Amino acid sequence: MKAGPFLAWLAMKGILAAASLLPLSVLSPVFRALAAACHALGFRRRIVTENLRAAFGKEFPAPELDRIARDCYAEYGRIVSEIIASDRLLRRKEEHFEALGLSILEKAVRDGKGLLILSGHIGNFVVLGYYLRSLGFPMTFVAKRVANEHVNREIEKVYGRHGSTIIPVRGFKNDPQGGMRLYRSLKRGEIVVALVDQDAGPEGYMSTFFGLPTSLPSGPARFAHRAGVPVATGFATRVDGRLRVEIHPPIDYSSAGSPDAAERNILDEYSRRLEEKVRKAPAQYFWFHKKWKSLPEIRARYEGSA
């Protein structure tokens, strides 16, 4: 066993255990302060800055982009605190949550035909699943595996908290076993949530996000087409101090005569809906990942060579 991965896991366990003892009124400010420190120390700051420049550089001046960046760090500090305190939040759902579009989930359960919900790294995407599960909806999360196996197990525990099922995948085109589990879950009539907004490299489907080409994982859309199940979108953003969980109507891909056409119809509409949400709440998007690393000019800016 290598010491580095084990120590990273041990540190993660220790922080979560200590944080779980704090009252919610203290927990959120503490993690927001930690996030502010990460910003001050430059942790992934170049990536956040370059992503915001790519998305909003023609619309907002530099000081406004800097403000959004700082707010983004603070928001994700708060998100971590909410995940840790999710038990307490769910005990007072009416105070902390509101939901739109639950009839779409109710229909999926009633029909028993399955439903794929495409989500993204905006707002508290983890607590979205917790909340829906607490309302009685059976939820299955697709969770991408990370290299550190110890940390990976903890991530799966986080997603699986409150009774959700987890499908761990390495990727959708290089992990036949994970892909088959996803397909079978859909065929069994389950509600499956997949986050498909991170760069999928040359194997992904090239859609558009903020006017720029963006590579998206295509596996979930193709499996949904193959299984013949509807594909909706769902996001959880903070509105007026509460987490608003929104399930949007299924994407119409009935005219698609092939898996390629279904992929195009589903992912282009998904990307459009995600961009619409991000424009309304730019600081709530996870700008920390290299969204456009498939584009050489932006990848060079991530690396500081342009």
Cα 101 from Cα 273, distance rounded (Å): 15
Position with higher pLDDT, 21 vs 244: 244
CATH number of 3-302: 3.40.1130
Using 50, 70 and 90 to split pLDDT, how confident is the model at 154?
low
Q: What is the DSSP letter of 199?
A: -
| Lookup result for tokens 């088959």 | 180
Q: Closest Cα partner for 102 from 146, 142, 133?
A: 133
Q: Round the average pLDDT of the chain to a whole number and report it.
A: 89
pLDDT of residue 43: 94
pLDDT of residue 161: 72
pLDDT of residue 1: 45
**What tens digit of pLDDT does each residue of 273-290 get?**
999 999 999 999 999 999
* 3-state secondary structure string across 110-153: HHCCCEEEEECCEECHHHHHHHHHHCCCCEEEEEECCCCHHHHH
Q: Is the pLDDT of residue 179 over 90?
A: no
* This prediction's pTM: 0.90
pLDDT of residue 185: 92
**Tokens standing for residue 18:** 């200590």
Sequence letter at residue 279 = R
Q: Is the pLDDT of residue 48 over 90?
A: yes
Position with higher pLDDT, 97 vs 127: 97
Pick the range with the lowest mean pLDDT from 78-87, 102-111, 158-167, 270-279: 158-167
